[in-house]
Protein backbone atom coordinates (compact mmCIF):
# COMPACT_ATOMS: atom_id res chain seq x y z
CA UNK A 1 0.00 0.00 0.00
CA UNK A 2 1.22 3.48 -0.91
CA UNK A 3 1.00 4.98 2.55
CA UNK A 4 2.97 2.14 4.08
CA UNK A 5 5.69 2.52 1.47
CA UNK A 6 5.83 6.19 2.26
CA UNK A 7 6.14 5.63 6.00
CA UNK A 8 8.78 2.96 5.47
CA UNK A 9 10.67 5.40 3.29
CA UNK A 10 10.77 8.23 5.79
CA UNK A 11 14.05 7.12 7.41
CA UNK A 12 15.72 7.21 3.99
CA UNK A 13 14.46 10.74 3.49
CA UNK A 14 16.02 11.61 6.82
CA UNK A 15 19.34 10.11 5.66
CA UNK A 16 19.06 12.24 2.54
CA UNK A 17 18.40 15.31 4.64
CA UNK A 18 21.56 14.70 6.66
CA UNK A 19 23.61 14.44 3.44
CA UNK A 20 22.01 17.66 2.16
CA UNK A 21 22.92 19.47 5.37
CA UNK A 22 26.49 18.17 5.24
CA UNK A 23 26.79 19.25 1.61
CA UNK A 24 25.52 22.69 2.55
CA UNK A 25 27.86 23.00 5.53
CA UNK A 26 31.03 21.96 3.71
CA UNK A 27 30.20 24.02 0.63
CA UNK A 28 29.38 27.20 2.56
CA UNK A 29 32.61 26.89 4.57
CA UNK A 30 34.66 26.46 1.39
CA UNK A 31 32.74 29.22 -0.36
CA UNK A 32 33.07 31.68 2.53
CA UNK A 33 36.76 31.08 3.18
CA UNK A 34 37.60 31.36 -0.49
CA UNK A 35 35.18 34.24 -1.04
CA UNK A 36 36.84 36.34 1.67
CA UNK A 37 40.28 35.71 0.20
CA UNK A 38 39.08 36.48 -3.34
CA UNK A 39 37.31 39.69 -2.33
CA UNK A 40 40.22 41.07 -0.33
CA UNK A 41 42.60 39.98 -3.09
CA UNK A 42 40.49 41.68 -5.71
CA UNK A 43 40.53 44.92 -3.72
CA UNK A 44 44.03 44.95 -2.26
CA UNK A 45 46.32 42.58 -4.17
CA UNK A 46 48.53 43.65 -7.07
CA UNK A 47 46.86 44.26 -10.42
CA UNK A 48 47.69 40.93 -12.12
CA UNK A 49 46.33 38.95 -9.18
CA UNK A 50 43.22 41.11 -8.97
CA UNK A 51 42.69 40.52 -12.68
CA UNK A 52 43.04 36.75 -12.33
CA UNK A 53 40.47 36.83 -9.54
CA UNK A 54 38.14 38.82 -11.77
CA UNK A 55 38.43 36.19 -14.50
CA UNK A 56 37.79 33.40 -11.99
CA UNK A 57 34.66 35.16 -10.75
CA UNK A 58 33.38 35.82 -14.24
CA UNK A 59 33.81 32.20 -15.29
CA UNK A 60 32.21 30.69 -12.21
CA UNK A 61 29.31 33.08 -12.31
CA UNK A 62 28.91 32.51 -16.03
CA UNK A 63 28.33 28.76 -16.19
CA UNK A 64 25.38 26.79 -14.85
CA UNK A 65 26.02 24.86 -11.66
CA UNK A 66 24.99 21.54 -13.20
CA UNK A 67 27.52 22.02 -16.01
CA UNK A 68 30.18 22.82 -13.42
CA UNK A 69 29.33 19.69 -11.42
CA UNK A 70 29.49 17.54 -14.57
CA UNK A 71 32.84 19.05 -15.50
CA UNK A 72 34.26 18.29 -12.08
CA UNK A 73 32.80 14.83 -11.59
CA UNK A 74 32.74 13.41 -15.11
CA UNK A 75 35.27 15.66 -16.87
CA UNK A 76 38.21 15.90 -14.51
CA UNK A 77 38.84 12.11 -14.31
CA UNK A 78 39.93 12.35 -17.95
CA UNK A 79 42.93 14.35 -16.78
CA UNK A 80 43.48 12.14 -13.80
CA UNK A 81 41.57 14.04 -11.11
CA UNK A 82 39.10 11.68 -9.46
CA UNK A 83 36.68 12.59 -6.73
CA UNK A 84 33.77 10.81 -5.12
CA UNK A 85 30.40 12.43 -5.88
CA UNK A 86 30.12 14.10 -2.49
CA UNK A 87 33.54 15.74 -2.72
CA UNK A 88 32.91 16.79 -6.31
CA UNK A 89 29.63 18.38 -5.24
CA UNK A 90 31.28 20.25 -2.35
CA UNK A 91 34.00 21.53 -4.68
CA UNK A 92 31.52 22.63 -7.34
CA UNK A 93 29.07 24.23 -4.92
CA UNK A 94 31.86 25.80 -2.87
CA UNK A 95 33.71 27.30 -5.84
CA UNK A 96 30.55 28.66 -7.37
CA UNK A 97 29.49 30.13 -4.03
CA UNK A 98 32.94 31.68 -3.52
CA UNK A 99 32.52 33.65 -6.74
CA UNK A 100 29.14 35.00 -5.65
CA UNK A 101 30.28 35.63 -2.09
CA UNK A 102 33.31 37.51 -3.37
CA UNK A 103 30.87 39.92 -5.01
CA UNK A 104 28.99 40.37 -1.75
CA UNK A 105 32.19 41.05 0.19
CA UNK A 106 33.57 43.37 -2.45
CA UNK A 107 30.45 45.49 -2.22
CA UNK A 108 30.92 45.61 1.54
CA UNK A 109 34.61 46.55 1.21
CA UNK A 110 33.71 49.36 -1.17
CA UNK A 111 31.33 50.80 1.39
CA UNK A 112 34.01 50.95 4.11
CA UNK A 113 35.39 54.51 4.18
CA UNK A 114 38.98 54.84 2.96
CA UNK A 115 39.88 56.57 6.21
CA UNK A 116 39.56 53.26 8.05
CA UNK A 117 42.58 51.80 6.31
CA UNK A 118 44.45 55.11 6.56
CA UNK A 119 43.92 55.02 10.31
CA UNK A 120 45.16 51.42 10.43
CA UNK A 121 48.29 52.35 8.45
CA UNK A 122 48.86 55.33 10.71
CA UNK A 123 49.10 53.00 13.70
CA UNK A 124 51.87 51.10 11.95
CA UNK A 125 49.79 48.20 10.66
CA UNK A 126 50.97 46.68 7.42
CA UNK A 127 48.45 45.95 4.70
CA UNK A 128 47.80 42.39 5.85
CA UNK A 129 47.15 43.44 9.45
CA UNK A 130 44.93 46.31 8.34
CA UNK A 131 42.88 43.94 6.19
CA UNK A 132 42.68 41.35 8.93
CA UNK A 133 41.88 43.56 11.91
CA UNK A 134 40.04 46.47 10.33
CA UNK A 135 38.65 45.61 6.90
CA UNK A 136 37.50 41.99 7.26
CA UNK A 137 35.58 42.41 10.56
CA UNK A 138 33.66 45.37 9.12
CA UNK A 139 33.21 43.66 5.77
CA UNK A 140 31.69 40.55 7.36
CA UNK A 141 29.22 42.56 9.42
CA UNK A 142 28.12 44.51 6.40
CA UNK A 143 27.76 41.27 4.43
CA UNK A 144 25.36 39.40 6.70
CA UNK A 145 22.19 40.12 4.65
CA UNK A 146 23.88 39.17 1.36
CA UNK A 147 25.50 36.14 2.90
CA UNK A 148 22.16 34.93 4.31
CA UNK A 149 20.73 35.10 0.83
CA UNK A 150 23.65 33.17 -0.62
CA UNK A 151 23.34 30.58 2.13
CA UNK A 152 19.74 29.76 1.29
CA UNK A 153 20.52 29.65 -2.44
CA UNK A 154 23.34 27.22 -1.76
CA UNK A 155 21.14 25.09 0.49
CA UNK A 156 18.58 24.71 -2.30
CA UNK A 157 21.19 24.21 -5.00
CA UNK A 158 22.63 21.18 -3.22
CA UNK A 159 19.71 19.39 -4.90
CA UNK A 160 21.67 19.60 -8.15
CA UNK A 161 24.21 17.20 -6.65
CA UNK A 162 21.53 14.65 -7.50
CA UNK A 163 22.84 14.93 -11.05
CA UNK A 164 26.24 13.45 -10.20
CA UNK A 165 24.90 10.72 -7.97
CA UNK A 166 25.15 12.14 -4.48
CA UNK A 167 22.55 10.36 -2.40
CA UNK A 168 21.03 13.45 -0.86
CA UNK A 169 17.43 14.42 -0.27
CA UNK A 170 16.40 14.58 -3.94
CA UNK A 171 18.00 11.25 -4.77
CA UNK A 172 16.27 9.58 -1.83
CA UNK A 173 13.00 11.00 -3.05
CA UNK A 174 13.69 9.62 -6.49
CA UNK A 175 14.33 6.14 -4.99
CA UNK A 176 10.95 6.21 -3.29
CA UNK A 177 9.30 7.28 -6.51
CA UNK A 178 10.96 4.40 -8.36
CA UNK A 179 9.65 1.95 -5.78
CA UNK A 180 6.11 3.32 -6.05
CA UNK A 181 5.48 5.72 -8.96
CA UNK A 182 2.09 6.64 -7.47
CA UNK A 183 3.90 8.49 -4.68
CA UNK A 184 5.59 10.97 -7.00
CA UNK A 185 3.41 13.96 -6.17
CA UNK A 186 3.28 13.39 -2.43
CA UNK A 187 7.00 12.58 -2.14
CA UNK A 188 8.19 15.64 -3.99
CA UNK A 189 5.70 17.83 -2.19
CA UNK A 190 7.17 16.48 1.02
CA UNK A 191 10.68 17.20 -0.19
CA UNK A 192 9.66 20.70 -1.23
CA UNK A 193 8.26 21.21 2.26
CA UNK A 194 11.49 19.98 3.86
CA UNK A 195 13.55 22.45 1.80
CA UNK A 196 11.11 25.21 2.59
CA UNK A 197 11.28 24.54 6.32
CA UNK A 198 15.07 24.41 6.25
CA UNK A 199 15.28 27.72 4.42
CA UNK A 200 12.75 29.20 6.81
CA UNK A 201 14.71 28.08 9.86
CA UNK A 202 17.97 29.25 8.31
CA UNK A 203 16.55 32.69 7.62
CA UNK A 204 15.15 32.99 11.13
CA UNK A 205 18.44 31.89 12.68
CA UNK A 206 20.53 34.21 10.53
CA UNK A 207 18.23 37.09 11.27
CA UNK A 208 18.69 36.37 14.96
CA UNK A 209 22.47 36.30 14.55
CA UNK A 210 22.32 39.52 12.57
CA UNK A 211 20.43 41.21 15.38
CA UNK A 212 22.64 39.76 18.08
CA UNK A 213 25.87 40.92 16.47
CA UNK A 214 24.45 44.23 15.45
CA UNK A 215 26.32 47.20 16.81
CA UNK A 216 25.77 50.90 16.93
CA UNK A 217 26.37 52.37 13.52
CA UNK A 218 25.75 49.11 11.72
CA UNK A 219 22.00 48.82 11.98
CA UNK A 220 20.44 48.01 8.69
CA UNK A 221 16.91 48.74 9.78
CA UNK A 222 14.58 50.63 7.52
CA UNK A 223 12.53 53.27 9.25
CA UNK A 224 9.04 53.37 7.90
Partner 1 sequence: MSMLEVKDIYKSYGDVQILKGVSFIMEKEETKVIIGPSGTGKSTLLRCINQLSPPDKGQIWLDGEEITNRKTNINKIREKIGFVFQDFNLFNHLTALRNVSIGLEKVKKIEKDAARKRAMQELTRVGLEAQVSQYPAQLSGGQKQRVGIARALAMDPDVILFDEPTSALDPELIGDVLDVMKSLCGKVAMLIVTHEMGFARNVANEIIFMEGGVIVEQGSPKEMFTNAKMKRTQEFLGRIGALYGEEETGG
Nearer to partner 1, 80 or 113 (CB): 113
* Closest distance of CB 116 from partner 1, Å: 6
CB atoms within 10 A of CB 4: 9
* Closest distance of CB 113 from partner 1, Å: 7
Residues that bind partner 1 (CB under 8 A): 113, 115-116, 118-126, 129, 133-134, 137-138, 141, 215-218
Nearest-angstrom CA–CA distance, 158 and 91: 11
* Closest distance of CB 214 from partner 1, Å: 11
Nearer to partner 1, 125 or 199 (CB): 125
* Closest distance of CB 112 from partner 1, Å: 8
Nearest-angstrom CA–CA distance, 32 and 35: 5
* Closest distance of CB 120 from partner 1, Å: 8
Nearer to partner 1, 119 or 189 (CB): 119
* Residues 6+ positions from 140 with CB-CB distance below 8 Å: 36, 105, 108
Q: Angle, nearest 10°, between helix axes 85-110 and 2-44?
A: 50
For residues 67-91, one letter each, b for 16 or more C-beta atoms within 10 angstroms of the residue's C-beta and e for the rest, the string is ebbeebbeeeeeeeeebebbebbbb
217 phi and psi, to 5 degrees?
A: 95, -10
Nearer to partner 1, 135 or 187 (CB): 135
Longest dimension (CA), the chain: 75
Nearer to partner 1, 111 or 205 (CB): 111
Amino acid sequence: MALETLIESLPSLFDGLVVTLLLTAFSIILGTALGVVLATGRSYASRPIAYLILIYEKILRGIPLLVLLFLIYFGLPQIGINMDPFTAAVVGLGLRSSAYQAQIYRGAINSIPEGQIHAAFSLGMNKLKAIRHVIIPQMLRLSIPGWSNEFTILLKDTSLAFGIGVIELMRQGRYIQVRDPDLILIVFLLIALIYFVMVFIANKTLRYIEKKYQMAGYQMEVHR
